[in-house]
Structure formats: structure tokens, C-alpha cells
Structure 1
Amino acid sequence: MFSGIIECTAPVLAAGAREGSLSLRLATGFPDLDLGESVAVNGVCLTVTERDAAGEALFFVGPETLARSNLGALTTGGLVNLERSATLSSRLSGHLVQGHVDGLARLSGQSEDGGTWRLRFTVPEDLSRYCVEKGSIALNGVSLTLNAVEAAGQGESDLHVAIIPHTWEHTNLHRLTPGDAVNVEVDVMAKYVERLCQPYQRP
């Protein structure tokens, strides 16, 4: 479990595809990683399979994760957002994030507004139905507040978020260009509510 508060960004040292999976080596900067530890990489919960005292770590990315996330597009020299898993004593400064990506959004607009960056992401409606104005969402693992959710036509919706200078500078969101894909994890509470209400819906 994570909170969506990014601890650091890390360069990709190697990204090697093999037999439908991916081997990902990162310079995490965390010298005390444990084997088997969970780390959110661009919002995707991955397991540390190798590590050293310098903080370099190896992660395995399987076919299901590659199909749902943007990790398959990573190349050497890329930059990813990192967050280590929360503990029972952690402050929940963001919101409850599982690290289970629901799908992808694409950056469709950006503008600067008094030091804040306003970003617009386009998502399919099967994800936007879980999104509400002033609700929470995780984009590339970053816990953000939705300023607006608007229908965009053709089965898509636009999500509007505002990025403060600290988040802009300390995550990889500042590297995005229009058309780039980000990982989306909607608020899990919305999915539970939908599931619980299904037996009571009229046919």
C-alpha cells in the first residue's frame, strides 16, 4: 500500500525486454532496500528482486503489468517516480494507493498559471466513471486532486489537475509532452461502492 507521495525520481539504468516481460534496473538511491520489498515505480507496485548497497535495484515486470501500464515504453536514461510502501506509522499525506494500475491516460493539454501547471489528461469512460470533481486519483503514482471531469466525446473524458511547483519539480510530470501516456489508478473506494451497489441496480 502507498500514499501517492513521491519520494524521489530515479533514472532507468537498463530496460530489457524478454519473452513478453521486462527486466528493469533502476538507480533508486535507497541503500537499505530488502529483497522482496514493494516499491511503486510510476505508480506500479513492483518487487525488488536484486539490490546492492549503492541503491541499484532490479525489478521484474510481467505481461499483465506491461499491458496495463507505461513501463513497457521505458528506455535507458528515462526517469521514473518512486515511492516505498507505507508503514502503519506513515502519515497518509495523499490517499490510499494500491499500486495496481487500472489503465492509461494521455496528456492532451498543459499550461502554466502563476507558477502552477494545469494539465489535462484524456481517459476512456470506463475509467472516468470512477472520477469525481475534488476526488483523488494517482497519475504515474502521484496523488492528485481532480479539479474537473468533463466529457470529451467518442467514449472519452478529460481530467483536469493542477500541479504545484514542488510536485512539478520533484516528479517526472514535468517531462511529459502532449500525447505521452501516464499510469492511472482510480480511487479504489469508488470501485468497491460500484461493486456493492450492483445487486441493487434495476435491470
Structure 2
Amino acid sequence: MFTGIVEELGTIEAVEDQGDAIRLTVRAATVLEDAGLGDSISVNGCCLTIAERTDTTWTADVMQETLDKTSLHGVRPGDQVNLERAVTAEKRLGGHIVQGHVDGVGEVLSRTPSEHWEVVEVSLPADLGRYLVDKGWIAVDGISLTVVEAGTDRFTVSLIPETLARTTLGTRQPGDRVNLEVDVLAKHVERLLAWRDTAGTVTP
């Protein structure tokens, strides 16, 4: 589990095509301080497992399912990515509950700069619109953000200078694809209500 608070920008060092998978090597510093084989790191919101590591890089296997459903398909050496280690029990939950399981891919539609912040509009897959509410949560490329306006097929977020400087959203342009993860609690509520409507009661 993650919090959506990006710890550092890493750089894609190598992408090894394996046909129905890739091996992704990322250059990093902070997330490697206490990381070992088998640990989880969020890469642009995708939970990946460390398979190999050196003092300055780590490697993960990315299967076809992940490539089909996230923006990791098409990453190239030199690309920057948001990195976050899995949360520990003693860590403050500064963002929100993020699983690292991408629900869909959106596209940056527009950027509107202001003096002290920037509003970014992102498209939303049709089946995810019901999970968003104004002032609710969404993870965009693994970044915990507050929804400003929630539409049926798009939403906006307002980015402070810290987010612009420390994450990939500082450089994403209209047309760029971003990973989206909606609030898992909203999905659980929907599932419970659907079960009640079908069965008549909710069984503990």
C-alpha cells in the first residue's frame, strides 16, 4: 500500500523487451535507501516488485497485463517517473490509501497556469466517473490529489508549486497519458450496495 506522496523522480535506465513482458530498470536514490529484493515500489502509480538492485538502480518485471492497462507501455530510457516506497505502519498517511493498482489511463487535456498554482484537466474513462466527487481523492501517476471538479468523462486538479517541481505532473503536456487510481473505499461501498440490491441483505 502507498500514500500517493511521491518521494523522488527516478529515471528509466533500461527497458528490456521480452515479448509478453518487459524488464524495467530505474535509476533512483531515496527509494533504494532501505529497499531489498521483493519490496514494492510505486512507479507512476503502478506497484512493482524489486527483482534486482544495485547501489543506484533497481529492476522489475512488468507483465503484459500491466503494459496493456497502464502508461508504462511505451516508456523509454531517459523518461522520468514518480517513485514511492510502500508505506510502513509508523509512517504518517500524508496522502490517501493508494494500492498501486491502476484502474485506467487518462489523458492530459489542458493546463491553466495561475500565479501560485496550475489547474490540470484530465480525461476520465467512462467506467470511472462514478467514483469521483468534488474534493474527493484520486491518484494520478501515483500522486495523491484532490479533485477540484468531477465530470463524467473528465476532472480537474489544482497543483501547488511543490507538486509541479517534484513530480512528473510538472512537465506532462496535453496529449500525455497518465495512470489513474480511484478511491478503493468508493469501490468497496459500490460492491456492498450491489450485493444488497441483488441478495436483499448484506451478509457479514
Structure 1 residue aligned with 2:181, among 181, 185, 188?
185
User: C-alpha distance in 2, partners of 1:5/1:96?
Assistant: 10
Q: 1:74, CA displacement in angstroms?
A: 0.6
User: C-alpha distance in 1, partners of 2:36/2:151?
Assistant: 43
Mark the runs of 5 or more structure 2 residues left unpaired by the alignment. Answer: 199-204
Q: 1:201, CA displacement in angstroms?
A: 3.3
> For 1:1-203, what aligned pairs fall within 5 Å after superposition?
1-29=1-29, 30-52=32-54, 54-151=55-152, 157-201=153-197
Q: SS at the partner of 1:71?
A: coil
Which amino acid in structure 1 is aligned with residue 43 of structure 2? V
Which amino acid in structure 1 is aligned with residue 74 of structure 2? A
The 8 Å contact of residues 101 and 185 in structure 1, kept in 2 or not, is answered as yes
Higher strand share: 1
TM-score, L = length of structure 1: 0.94
Q: 1:126, CA displacement in angstroms?
A: 0.2
TM-score, L = length of structure 2: 0.93
Q: SS at the partner of 1:146?
A: strand
Query: Any runs of at least 4 consecutive aligned residues in structure 1 with deviations exceeding 4 A, and if so which?
Result: none
Q: SS at the partner of 1:198?
A: helix
Q: SS at the partner of 1:129?
A: helix
Q: How high is the sequence identity, in percent, across the aligned residues? A: 39
Which amino acid in structure 1 is aligned with residue 170 of structure 2? H
Q: 1:175, CA displacement in angstroms?
A: 1.7
Against the structure 1 CA distance between its residues 169 and 40, is the aligned structure 2 distance closer, same or farther, given a 3 Å change threshold? same
The 8 Å contact of residues 130 and 190 in structure 1, kept in 2 or not, is answered as yes
User: C-alpha distance in 1, partners of 2:163/2:116?
Assistant: 11
Deviations 1:20-65 (A, max 9, x none): 111100112124320000000001000000001x231001100111
Aligned residues: 196
Aligned-pair RMSD on alpha carbons?
Answer: 1.1
Q: 1:158, CA displacement in angstroms?
A: 1.2
